[in-house]
Amino acid sequence: MSGIKAAITGIHSWTPDYVLTNAELETIMDTTDEWITTRTGIKERRLLKDSDKATSYLATKAVEGLLEKTGTKPEEVEFLILATATPDMLFPATANLVTGNLGMVNAGGYDISAACSGFLFALTTASKLIEAGMYKKIIVVGADKMSSIVDLSDRTTGIIFGDGAGAVLLEPSQDENGIIDCIMKSDGQGVKHLHQKAGGSLRPATAETVARNEHKIYQEGQVVFKFAVTRMADVAAEIMERNHLTADDIAFLAPHQANKRIIDATAARMGIGPEKVMLNIHKYGNTTNGTIPIVMHEYENRLKKGDNIILAAFGGGFTWGAIYLKWSYDPK
Ligand code: UT7
């Protein structure tokens, strides 16, 4: 162990202007605002309507704001890791499109694919590159244009997802604060319950795959819910336990925003009240890799140096995990 810790030294996010409300969904599919609100907690989500703009656009906007806000020049960034389930193209990595867009001429980069847990996995990976002493400035982005793979005729998945991106700057910590512990888990048995059938090397796109709607998300909601509700809570409890943290020690839970009932179950398991739960699912729905950095950005002004924060996520794969970090700066 080098003794170096990685700390988040800046955070920013970006969501598109178009608001898709539950009221509008009522006109598209057989649903009600009441059903969506009580079953998921979602009231509206943001969509990137422009057909010529994709995940790299969302990510570029978030990272551009982050660079400006932290006074970081593009050429100072050494590495960029982008977590996404909706890359602009299968290759090259969307990370490369973002570094190219912003003139990060000295940055290496790649994408991480771990569905809704991707941002957490990317942050873990980046923190280890800092701890190893390999880099001093890494940007970690979570970004998804979920509307590109959502089927609005499927009322069980069509209501959940939205588009958005969030990004953090990671640097060596100057004190005892920073990323303390990380857990990453996966279980390939989950594939059958949540996946995109076509578009990869197994079923490349054909007229038939398009006709069968196989390029959209396939999700067995109830099964995924049951796994999510236990595993996200399990891993949040595990990271608290192994770091000897009680509910009183926790300032905030920053959970993946997939369903408010999953978030409530995680908070209950941790023994924390709603005042300690970062929540914005009502405004953005599930932006997949965007949820955690977007919600943390929204709560940035409430965070104090030294605050104990638990991040937790669950997603397709299945993948799930948690991070324990001590926040590294006071509100500016
Ligand atoms: O992001 C990471 C991975 N994903 C998740 O974590 C998502 C986990 N799953 C969920 O959040 C929930 O399962 C959903 C929100 C997707 C669905 O909620 P649910 O409470 O599990 O509903 P359900 O699929 O069990 O359906 C219950 C009933 C069904 O009607 P019947 O068969 O009881 O008559 C559905 O047809 O609700 C019906 N239903 C709807 N009704 C109105 C399903 N979707 C809708 C809808 N509006 N949008």
Tell me, letter by letter, the H, E, C secondary structure of 229-243: HHHHHHHHHHHHHHC
* Tokens representing residue 226 in the block: 């049951």
Rounded distance between C-alpha atoms, residue 312 and residue 288, angstroms: 13
Output the CA angle 229-231-234, nearest 5 degrees. Answer: 105
Per-residue pLDDT reduced to its tens digit, 272-284: 999 999 999 999 9
Average pLDDT over residues 155-174: 97
The mean of the pLDDT values for the chain is 97
Tell me whether residue 286 is one of the annotated catalytic residues.
yes
Instruction: Please state the rounded mean pLDDT for residues 41-48.
Output: 98
Q: What is the mean pLDDT of residues 246-270?
A: 98
Residues 6 or more apart whose Cβ sits within 8 Å of residue 23: 33
From the list 83, 89, 29, the residue with the least C-alpha distance to 59 is 83
Pairing of strands 108-112, 79-83: parallel
Taking the CA of residue 258 as reference, the ligand 1 atom at the shortest distance is 1
Q: Could you tell me if the CB of 258 is within 6 A of ligand 1?
A: yes
Report the Cα–Cα distance between both ends of the chain, in Å, rounded: 32
Q: What is the DSSP letter of 159?
A: T
User: Can you tell me which atom of ligand 1 is nearest the CA of 313?
Assistant: 2
Condensed to tens digits (0 to 9), the pLDDT of residues 47-86 reads 999 999 999 999 999 999 999 999 999 999 999 999 999 9
Q: Using the atom order of ligand 1, give the atom closest to the CA of residue 288.
A: 1
Distance 200 CA to ligand 1 centre (A): 27
Q: What is the pLDDT of residues 290-302, one digit of tens each?
A: 999 999 999 999 9
From 96, 259, 280, 286, the catalytic residue: 286
Q: Are 178 and 328 within 8 A, CB to CB?
A: yes
- 256 labelled catalytic: yes
**Which two tokens mark 184?**
């990453």
Tell me what percent of the residues of the chain surpass a pLDDT of 70.
99
- One-letter amino acid for residue 266 of the chain: T
Token couple for 46? 């943001």
pTM: 0.97
Fold of 6-177: Peroxisomal Thiolase; Chain A, domain 1 (3.40.47)
Nearest CA to ligand 1 atom 35: 156
Distances (CA, A) of 304 to 76, 119, 177, 328: 27, 22, 11, 8
Q: Is 31 in the pocket of ligand 1 (CB under 6 A)?
A: yes
CB count, 10 Å around CB of 133?
A: 11
**C-alpha 145 – ligand 1 centre gap (Å):** 22
**Nearest atom of ligand 1 to the alpha carbon of 262:** 6
pLDDT band at 153 (very low <50, low <70, confident <90, very high): confident
- pLDDT at position 270: 98
- What's the pLDDT at 332? 83
So what's the pLDDT on residue 298? 98
For residue 217, which of 144, 158, 260, 143 has the smallest C-alpha distance? 158
Query: Ligand 1, residues 21, 187, 225: which to mutate, most atoms within 8 A of Cβ?
Result: 225
The CATH 3.40.47.10 portion of the chain extends over 6-177, 179-326
Relative to the CA of 158, which ligand 1 atom is closest? Answer: 48
Helix%, strand%, coil% for the chain, nearest 5: 40, 25, 35
Calculate how far, in angstroms, residue 35's C-alpha sits from the geometric centre of ligand 1: 9
Q: Does domain 179-326 fall into CATH 3.40.50.970?
A: no
Q: Please give the share of the chain, as a percent, with pLDDT higher than 90.
A: 98
* Active-site residue, 182 included: no
CB 40 within 8 A of CB 282: no
Cα 155 to averaged position of ligand 1 atoms, centre (Å): 8
Mutating to test ligand 1, I would choose from 45, 150, 156, 161 the residue with most ligand atoms within 8 A of its C-beta, which is 156
The pLDDT value given to residue 1: 55
Q: What is the pLDDT of residues 2-34, one digit of tens each?
A: 689 999 999 999 999 999 999 999 999 999 999
Is residue 259 in contact with ligand 1, taking CB distance under 6 Å?
A: yes
pLDDT greater than 80 at residue 132: yes
CA-closest residue to ligand 1 atom 30:
156
Confidence of residue 266 (pLDDT cuts 50, 70, 90): very high
